[in-house]
Amino acid sequence: MSINIFRNLKHDFPSGIVVFLVAVPLCLGIALASGAPLFSGIIAGMVGGIIVTTFSGSQLGVSGPAAGLAVIVLAAIEDLGAFDTFLLAVMIGGIVQVLLGVARAGIIGYYFPTSVIKGMLSAIGIIIILKQIPHAFGYDADPEGDLGFIQADGQNTFSELLNMLNFFTPGALVLAAVSLAILIIWEQPFIKKFKLAQIIQGPLVVVTLGILYGISFSGGYLSIGAEHMVSIPVAADLNGFVNQFTLPNFAEIGNPDVWIIGITIAVVASLETLLCVEATDKLDPQKRVTPTNRELRAQGIGNIVSGLIGGLPVTQVIVRSSANIQSGGKTKTSALIHGFLILISALLIPNLLNKIPLASLAAILLMVGYKLAKPALFKQMFSQGHGQFIPFVITVLAIVFTDLLVGIGIGMGVAVFYILLNNMRNPYVMNETHDKEKKHYRIVLAEMVTFLNKAQILKELNSIPEHSELLIDASHTTYIEHDALEVISDFKESAKFKHIDLKMSCNRSLKLNGFKHSLGEILVPDQETHDFDNLEIKEDLSVAR
């Protein structure tokens, strides 16, 4: 590990700083939206950056408090009646996650379709842009990190864009515009020719400018008030800092509500983590694959520690992970650096952090959002056909207008529909051949035949004319469901009345279950299927193979 730290430090250190700058207001905003103490978000940021990263196998993933859990946390604290009781539920959730990792439940992460994952990334990018525009205008009623369509301030994502015009701060808008211009220029090739631009990241320049701007224009028309700045709780001394940590109430261990909430946190946090892992791996320039079972165990350990010392539940989070990738991070060192920076800054320099304008951070996040939702990605998905594009677009719209998990669920439903539709259309290949005496038909079944193929197969069997010969070729089929076997068995009886000479070939490993006896008289060895290959093909009615 130490070799990797030094080998990639020139990339990971500046990236860690950028992720740290992005993470701090998100940690605070999510804590505010969750109805929890502000410092609990900072604790979760530390734990996600230091503890989870240490045990994780993800090279670019960044963990911390997640916006998707804010509603659950808010309701849980209200139901349990005390924050320290809720912390016990967080610990239980962590234990459940460790058990899920041991049980290898991480394999679920590999079953999310690419169209849905890319839709999630684009949707998050669009949401970041829409949510950061009010902050760029100096209207900060909705806390940072709120990604839901219905916001904590009573507005929704789109109505807030109109509402902000009544409250915007001129100084914040000017600073955001200048900061965004700097970030765009910093990305241009001619800037990279300067040695200084290669060492210092654009976001660090923007944050420094924001602090200087806030000091220089204090009290004037273009000033930015303290309510538009980062607001980390400030402790008077080391004892005050330590006192901000909270122990869970272990006396409530027998409370069934605590266990229900703990299990709920474990399930939701695990799903969000697996989604983020899949998305982060797709963004990784080196296309490394994160071990998902190890990631669940790492997240579980993180939640045990976070609950033990007074933090919110943690997951791997896409906003910080994508910021890490876009800032040039190479290894998990960048995530570790961001975690230690949160700890050090909260302990030593909270007053300096509280001079960072949210408008500066809004400009940084606007760039992150744009890179996640580039128009080129929509064009690429469109070029792949409607089977990829429609689930992609539906996922984007669903997440924007609901929330992450609901939107992913809707996108998954559409993607599965297309999979089932294609499967239903592709159960077999049918060839018609003939000789001087009679017509011959051969239906070659697919590798897997299920109840979804029942209607198509039944339709094709009923189209076979009288006084013909039919071979149902299942020699390459590994599984036929009961419903499809029943259709073939029933057709065997009707074929006698239509004078159809019916045969069926299948490999020895194919299980016919209860139909072995009824189909036995029409079964033939595999090699007899080739008798049909020598006949002239009159018409090819291919559906699929």
CATH number for 432 = 3.30.750.24
User: What does the pLDDT read at residue 375?
Assistant: 94
Domain annotation covers residue 277: yes
Residues 394 and 447 both lie in one domain = no
Residues 451 and 396 both lie in one domain = no
Number of domains observed in the structure of the chain = 2
**Average of per-residue pLDDT across 142-151:** 90
Neighbours of 484 (CB within 10 A): 25
User: What does the pLDDT read at residue 526?
Assistant: 60
Residues 337 and 451 both lie in one domain = no
Tokens read off for 384: 């792949």
Domain annotation covers residue 181: yes
User: What does the pLDDT read at residue 5?
Assistant: 62
The CA radius of gyration of the chain, in Å to the nearest whole number, is 30
- Final residue belonging to a domain, choices 383, 401, 419: 401
Provide the domain limits for residue 511.
Answer: 427-540
The CA-to-CA distance between both ends of the chain, in Å, stands at 49
User: What does the pLDDT read at residue 109?
Assistant: 85
Query: Smallest Cα–Cα separation from 269: which of 41, 25, 95, 40?
Result: 95
Domain annotation covers residue 320: yes
pLDDT digits (tens, 9 = 90+) for 420-468: 777 665 555 555 665 556 788 888 888 888 887 888 888 888 888 998 9
Whether residue 541 has pLDDT greater than 70: no
Domain annotation covers residue 545: no
Residues 378 and 435 both lie in one domain = no
Domain annotation covers residue 456: yes
Residues 124 and 224 both lie in one domain = yes
Residues 378 and 254 both lie in one domain = yes
pLDDT digits (tens, 9 = 90+) for 370-386: 999 999 999 999 998 88
Residues 504 and 437 both lie in one domain = yes
Domain annotation covers residue 432: yes
CA atoms within 13 A on the CB side of 447: 1
Residues 396 and 432 both lie in one domain = no
Q: Regarding predicted confidence, which is higher, 494 or 518?
A: 494
- Final residue belonging to a domain, choices 359, 386, 401: 401
Whether residue 528 has pLDDT greater than 60: no
Q: pLDDT class for 153, splitting at 50, 70, 90?
A: confident
Neighbours of 135 (CB within 10 A): 28
pLDDT digits (tens, 9 = 90+) for 87-109: 999 999 999 999 999 999 999 98
Judge contact between 270 and 299, C-beta under 8 A: yes
**Average of per-residue pLDDT across 268-273:** 96
Domain annotation covers residue 82: yes
Residues 371 and 306 both lie in one domain = yes
pLDDT digits (tens, 9 = 90+) for 282-310: 999 999 999 999 999 999 999 999 999 99
Whether residue 531 has pLDDT greater than 60: no
**CA-based torsion, 195, 196, 199, 202: positive or negative:** negative
How far is residue 158's CA from residue 148's CA, in Å, rounded to a whole number? Answer: 11
**Average of per-residue pLDDT across 164-170:** 93
Task: Give the alpha-carbon dihedral of 506, 508, 510, 511, to 10 degrees.
Answer: 120
Judge contact between 105 and 383, C-beta under 8 A: no
Whether residue 332 has pLDDT greater than 70: yes
CB-count exposure of residue 319 (10 Å: 0-12, 13-18, 19+): buried
Domain annotation covers residue 13: yes
**Average of per-residue pLDDT across 133-146:** 93
User: What does the pLDDT read at residue 537?
Assistant: 34
- Final residue belonging to a domain, choices 401, 419, 454: 401
Residues 50 and 144 both lie in one domain = yes
Residues 361 and 264 both lie in one domain = yes
Residues 396 and 470 both lie in one domain = no
